[in-house]
Structure 1
Amino acid sequence: MAPIDPHSFTDSTHPVTTHISLSLYLDFPSSTIHATALLSLSNPHTGPLSLDTRSLTIHSVLDPQSQAPIPFSLSSDEDPIRGRHLTLSLSNHSSFLVVYSTSPSSSALQWLSPPQTFNKTLPFVYTQCQSIHARSVFPCQDTPAARVTYTCLLNVPSSLSAVMSARHVTRRSPNESSPSHAPPPPHATWGAEGRAVEEFVMDQPIPTYLFAFAVGELGFREVGPRTRVYAEAAGPVLDEAAREFAGTEEMVLQGERLFGPYDWERFDLLVLPPSFPYGGMENPRMVFLTPTVIKGDASGAQVVAHELAHSWTGNLITNKTNDHFWLNEGFTTYAERRIVEAVQGEDRAALNIGIGWKGLNEEMERFKDNMEFTKLKTNQEGVDPDDVYSQVPYEKGFQFLWRIERQIGRPAFDEFLKKYINTFKFKSIDTETFLDFLKANVPGIEKDIDLELWTEGTGIPPDAYEPVSNIYTKIVSLANEFKLGRMPREDEVADWQGQEWELYLENLPKAVEASQILALDECYRLSESKDYEVKVAFLQLAISAKCRDYYGEVEKTLKSVGRMKYLRPLYTALVQGTGKEEEKILAKRVFAEARDCYHPIAQGVVESIFAKHL
């Protein structure tokens, strides 16, 4: 076996899957999907073929023409990272049909009962397949090195509707046939009354981690010529999101000006329930967002700018494996900040860079005992990518590209970016491919910048660059004065929004007195902020100071959001260090009570924090 990806059983000597036709029957009472997957290969194959699965029951594998069974085996032991190895024995097959069911423990799926939704009356389900969770929804070569097109039939209760990272074709009765798709799963009552079928098509090849759907009581608002905002129809979230993201089309236009045509036709947004574990997920045509990005001042649009930027860097050009994740996130962070600068101005972009700079330095402390994961090009053999997910590929990757821009000038770098995107669009590449392209198009760049140090060295290179701007310098200066006992005056913070406060709090010393925390909050009510970036940064300081007045707010926050950006630092602050028995008891109790409201990915992250510190 010659694996092409440390996180996949995919064999380099086997043909790749080029198209998947899925028929999915969603059974909400059992939190399972009964399904068929018709996989088409790049060329006919005889011999073994390896696929990735996790928590799937494989009922049969069939020849799609003759319906004759195809021999298969599923490894008895489940690899804790890669899942179970499905091996087919093909005989000049160019396609095959897998009949299977998912498990309630699928790591990609979160099934929400009615009380866990905004409307409180109907259930909800959504996927999160990055980085290696698509294999728990359907058997596949679950590596970004292989790109596929797909079609999908979603059979859902007629009271619900579906959205997907694909073009919506139609909604129809289950009894209407669709000859272009695989047959319905035999384990499902496909034609039962009270059901509807939603049909989707993705004609552009994507990596499997970008496969996504959500099903619930959804409504939408039009906010632009190619953008709808979706959310649960009940409650205020839909209207609030439409206001927050009203400027989306301007960002798309700026993205096209900077990086070339937008190739995905639609740029729709779905605001998910609070359990969504990320700020956003860049699924093509249908970006998923956490409701915590709705801040009421349009600053949440910066997360949308990031997911939009992925339309070029990540979705069009993809890292070949997670070892090269910085190619997705470093480029996208750079592109996001260029869009923010164009739409919201240089000061706003400088704040963004400053917050990222502080975060990058904190990640150096987090990984001080395993500096491998402070590299851009990593070695993740035997490592779960969820366990080492961090700001390093985002912020160190951004710093690397910003360093190149400073070296050759922005106009030249802009031309380089457009050529890079046009050259590698719809391809998956690695760090070496990028560096070869860089050296070929910017002759002599390796003499001016230590490319090996930047991509394979640990830590932060000496030519990385802390941002310089009047507003950034002022905020950091005020944070330094807090160390001497002076809080900012009201006139100094009168025009501050969430980002300013976030930067200020991030630059305060971690060891502060409880009295200082109480005084700061008495003046500015930071613990009550509706901006979770501000609230969580403040609560971290409160935990560090053992200011127990705020532990009720910490508990409330941990029970109301499932975004890992907030769960990770709060749980870590509670359990890290000595002399924290009360805090550790609190953390364990809160997690036990809130666990079922977290996505499986977030559950695993919190459990890994406990395993390390308890």
Structure 2
Amino acid sequence: MAPLDPHSFIDSHHPLTTDISLSLYLDFPSATIHGVAFFILKSPHVGQLSFDTRSLSIHQVLSPITLSPLPFSLSSSPDPIKGTQLSISLPDDDVLNSFFIVFSTFPSSSALQWLSPPQTFNKKHPFVYTQCQCIHARSIFPCQDTPAARIRYSALLNVPRELSAVMSARHVDRRSPVSGEGHSHLLPGGFNSLWCSETRVVEEFQMNQPIPPYLFAFAVGELGFREVGPRTRVYSEAVNSVLDAAAKEFAGTEEMIRQGEKLFGDYDWERFDLLVLPPSFPYGGMENPRMVFLTPTVIKGDASGAQVVAHELAHSWTGNLITNMNNEHFWLNEGFTTYAERRIVEAVQGEDRAILNTGIGWKGLNEEMERFKDNLEFTKLKNNQEGVDPDDVYSEVPYEKGFQFLWRIERQIGRPAFDEFIKKYIATFKFKSIDTHTFLKFLKANVPGIEKEIDLVLWTEGTGIPPDAYEPVSNLYTKIVSLANEFKLGRMPREDEVADWRGQEWELYLENLPKVIEASQVLALDERYRLSESKDYEVKVAFLQLAIISQCRNFYGEVEKTLKEVGRMKYLRPLYRALVQGKGKEEEKILAKRVFSEAHECYHPIARGVVESIFAKHL
């Protein structure tokens, strides 16, 4: 076997899937999905074929012609990272490039979060949503779960009539179910008969452009929407206050799309809709094509949350059109997208906003170097992830070091030339999955002699931050960092100095304060500026992290409240780490364990796993 991806069981010599048709019956009472998947391979195949699964029950594999069973087996014990290998035997006497798999999920699926009515905004109906990045699509349906496999798909979602569905695909129809449609007659047990219940409805979707499996996404609940542009609706649960706030926050989306097209070429996905999920969503945003998923914490009331939207929009070119071959080359997705995001922000909101964004990222990158000081492999852009769970080493390194690498190239050849290079890069590799070697080969071919000016090997394979990385400079950035340095001398910023500050300015200020300060200083800072009460979670969490590290226990009630009301890993990681790291913090460790025991059921499975890994390392 020649592996294609360290996180997948598939063999590089075997054909990849090109098309999947799914019929999915969503059973909310049991928190399971019963499904039939019809797979088409790139070419016919004989013999063993491997697929990835996790927490799936495989009922049958069937011939597409006769519906006769095909032999299959599951590995005897799950791999802790990759899950369970599904091996299918395709017969020698009937060369096939397609087959059916009949399957069911388990409630423990790592990609699915089933929310009961009390866990939702409106408290009336259940809700379910997916999160497939990095390697969780295999826990919804069996697949070749690697970014190297780009698939087109169609899907029928059979859901309770009072609910509706959205998907990372074009919505075709909403209708009453029909017996046998989409191979639903192959569903296991009695779910074929339940398919046509009068209490159910079928939502049909089609994705005609090839995407990696991690971009497969849907959500089902009581959904409403607001129109915010010719290509954009904002969806959320049907709560007017959330919808109205989201529509206001993201009113400038169409202008961002237009600026993105000027910079990177045509927008190839038709729609750019946004779904604001319940607070348990573990990421800031997820770039699912046509339907970006967002945390409600990006609704800040001052349009600054649109920067997260700018990042997910940028993925429409870098990540969704051109994708890393596997997670060892994740920087090709996130470094490019961080660069593209800041170019869009600069065009729409001005250079100062983009530089503040870059400065916060620079500080975060330096902190990640400290985090990985005992495992420098993960300070590299191109790194070895054999035997490593990508969720455990998720960090800002691919984002910020990747951005710095591209920014270094821009400075070397000039922005006009770099803009032309990026447009050519996107046009050349669109709808393809590539690795770092392919990018560097393209770079050297299109920018002759670049390897003599920039140490490309050091940047992509070296540890740490290269010496020619660059801290941003602007009057506003310098002023904020200078004020943070003055805090070390006991001077707090005056109210007139911060009168125009928004969340980004405060975030940068807090990030540049000393890591540990006196508890009295923490109290004084909050007494003047009420940072612990900020509605901007970037500010609030940065302040609470400072309070924990400084053991200013006056704010531990706010820490507990925050950990219980949001599930975004960007906030869970630093707060739980601050509570459990270091000696002489028994009270903090007891607090962390108690809060997690009370809140973990409201966290997405991915977020639960991340917190558990923090505890495993430090408790």
* Shorter-chain TM-score tier: over 0.9
Alpha carbons of structure 1 residues 594 and 235: separation in structure 2 relative to 1, 3 Å: farther
Q: Write the letter of the residue equivalent to 2:113.
A: Q
- SS of residue paired to 2:195: coil
Unmatched 5+ residue regions in structure 1? none
Match of 1:129 in 2: 132
Counting only pairs closer than 5 Å after superposition, residues 261-300 of structure 1 correspond to structure 2 as 261-300=266-305
Match of 1:151 among 143, 148, 154: 154
Q: Matches of 2:127 and 2:47 in 1, distance apart?
A: 41
Say whether 1:190 aligns with 2:184. no
Q: Write the letter of the residue equivalent to 2:214.
A: Y
Say whether 1:104 aligns with 2:107. yes
Q: Write the letter of the residue equivalent to 2:174.
A: R
CA contact (8 A) 1:271 1:290 kept: yes
Alpha carbons of structure 1 residues 173 and 119: separation in structure 2 relative to 1, 3 Å: same
Q: Write the letter of the residue equivalent to 1:151.
A: S
Match of 1:171 among 169, 174, 196: 174
Q: Write the letter of the residue equivalent to 1:20.
A: I
Match of 2:263 among 258, 266, 278: 258
Deviations along 1:415-441, one digit per CA (max 9) or x if unpaired, are 000000000000000000000000000
CA contact (8 A) 1:148 1:205 kept: yes
CA contact (8 A) 1:23 1:184 kept: no
Q: 1:182 offset after TM fit, Å?
A: 6.2
Counting only pairs closer than 5 Å after superposition, residues 118-517 of structure 1 correspond to structure 2 as 118-175=121-178, 178=181, 183=185, 185-187=187-189, 188=191, 189-517=194-522
Q: 1:386 offset after TM fit, Å?
A: 0.1
Match of 2:82 in 1: 82
CA contact (8 A) 1:6 1:381 kept: yes
Moved more, 90-99 or 433-442: 90-99
Q: Matches of 2:452 and 2:188 in 1, distance apart?
A: 63
CA contact (8 A) 2:581 2:618 kept: yes
Q: Matches of 1:515 and 1:398 in 2, distance apart?
A: 38
Q: 1:346 offset after TM fit, Å?
A: 0.3
CA contact (8 A) 1:37 1:182 kept: no
CA contact (8 A) 2:336 2:402 kept: yes
Q: Matches of 2:490 and 2:166 in 1, distance apart?
A: 52
Match of 2:599 in 1: 594
- SS of residue paired to 1:591: helix
Unmatched 5+ residue regions in structure 2? none
Deviations along 1:281-310, one digit per CA (max 9) or x if unpaired, are 000000000000000000000000000000
CA contact (8 A) 2:352 2:476 kept: yes
CA contact (8 A) 2:59 2:188 kept: no
CA contact (8 A) 2:169 2:206 kept: yes
- SS of residue paired to 2:524: helix
Match of 1:542 in 2: 547
Q: 1:186 offset after TM fit, Å?
A: 3.4
- SS of residue paired to 2:470: coil
TM-score (norm 1): 0.99
Q: Matches of 2:85 and 2:389 in 1, distance apart?
A: 17
CA contact (8 A) 2:62 2:100 kept: yes
TM-score (norm 2): 0.98
Q: Write the letter of the residue equivalent to 2:104.
A: S
Q: Matches of 2:536 and 2:180 in 1, distance apart?
A: 48
CA contact (8 A) 1:24 1:36 kept: yes
Q: Matches of 1:94 and 1:542 in 2, distance apart?
A: 59
Count, aligned residues: 613
Q: Matches of 1:583 and 1:529 in 2, distance apart?
A: 23
Say whether 1:578 aligns with 2:580. no
Q: 1:471 offset after TM fit, Å?
A: 0.2
Q: Write the letter of the residue equivalent to 1:352.
A: N
Match of 2:567 among 562, 582, 592: 562
Match of 2:33 in 1: 33
Q: 1:191 offset after TM fit, Å?
A: 1.2
Q: Matches of 1:54 and 1:305 in 2, distance apart?
A: 33
Q: 1:234 offset after TM fit, Å?
A: 2.3
Q: Matches of 2:134 and 2:145 in 1, distance apart?
A: 9
CA contact (8 A) 1:23 1:183 kept: no
CA contact (8 A) 2:167 2:291 kept: yes
Deviations along 1:122-158, one digit per CA (max 9) or x if unpaired, are 0000000000000000000000011000000000000
- SS of residue paired to 2:307: helix
Q: Matches of 2:13 and 2:315 in 1, distance apart?
A: 30
- SS of residue paired to 1:368: coil
Displaced runs of 4 or more, over 2 A: 175-179, 181-184
- SS of residue paired to 1:236: helix
Deviations along 1:381-410, one digit per CA (max 9) or x if unpaired, are 000000000000000000000000000000
Counting only pairs closer than 5 Å after superposition, residues 58-77 of structure 1 correspond to structure 2 as 58-77=58-77
